Amino acid sequence: MSDSTGDVFWGLPDELLLRAHDALGRRARYWRNELGLGLASAVLLELAWSGRIGFDPGAVPGRVLLRDLTKAVDPVADMLLQLIALARRARSAEHWIGSTGRTVLIEVQTRIVSQGTVQPAPCCRLPDREEAALRALLGAMTGKAARTEQEDPATELVSSALRLAVTGAKSQICLP
């Protein structure tokens, strides 16, 4: 869950988000609701594994019962624990998953970006024609044409931006 220095948290929700993004690529932005639900489920699962919550098999199946309110290692799990503790009545796991999915998605995305695991990327897909034009422009700018010893900083900035837009590194994630 954390590295030897204790600074970086890595849990099931983080792993799930990165695997989903690797599998879906930039199409992940179309699956935000489902990703949020999956991540919220993963947080509840980790809380259950650690013994902090339980599930009532009685009259209301799946109702989440708080067992341990001590601070969790994962700030997202801690947030969910606090919400469960502040609820006026016990709610089902389905309720907690549905009501926190979007927030959990945003929090996990923010965490993995701030840790430097991935870089944020705009959530847009260039049409094929525009992508081909950008590739041609990038090729012309970075090709083997004669260049001066020192390029103009603006040209270098545009070249870098085009390279990033066209190649789309795998270590990028679309943020909502």
Structural domain boundaries of the chain? Answer: 12-117, 128-170
Look at residue 147 in the predicted model and tell me its pLDDT.
Answer: 47
C-alpha separations of 52 from 25, 37, 46, 49, 167 in Å: 34, 20, 9, 8, 44
Look at residue 141 in the predicted model and tell me its pLDDT.
Answer: 56
Look at residue 160 in the predicted model and tell me its pLDDT.
Answer: 57
pLDDT per residue, tens digit, the chain (176 aa), is 444 445 566 789 998 888 887 777 766 667 788 889 999 999 999 999 999 999 887 766 778 999 999 998 899 999 999 999 999 888 999 999 999 999 999 999 889 888 877 776 655 554 555 556 656 665 665 554 444 445 555 555 555 555 555 555 444 555 54
Look at residue 20 in the predicted model and tell me its pLDDT.
Answer: 83
3-state secondary structure of 65: strand
Look at residue 145 in the predicted model and tell me its pLDDT.
Answer: 46
Q: How far apart are alpha carbons 100 and 109 in whole angstroms? A: 14
pTM exceeds 0.85: no
Q: How far apart are alpha carbons 122 and 132 in whole angstroms? A: 19
Look at residue 148 in the predicted model and tell me its pLDDT.
Answer: 46
Domain 12-117 belongs to what topology? yeast vps74-n-term truncation variant fold (1.10.3630)
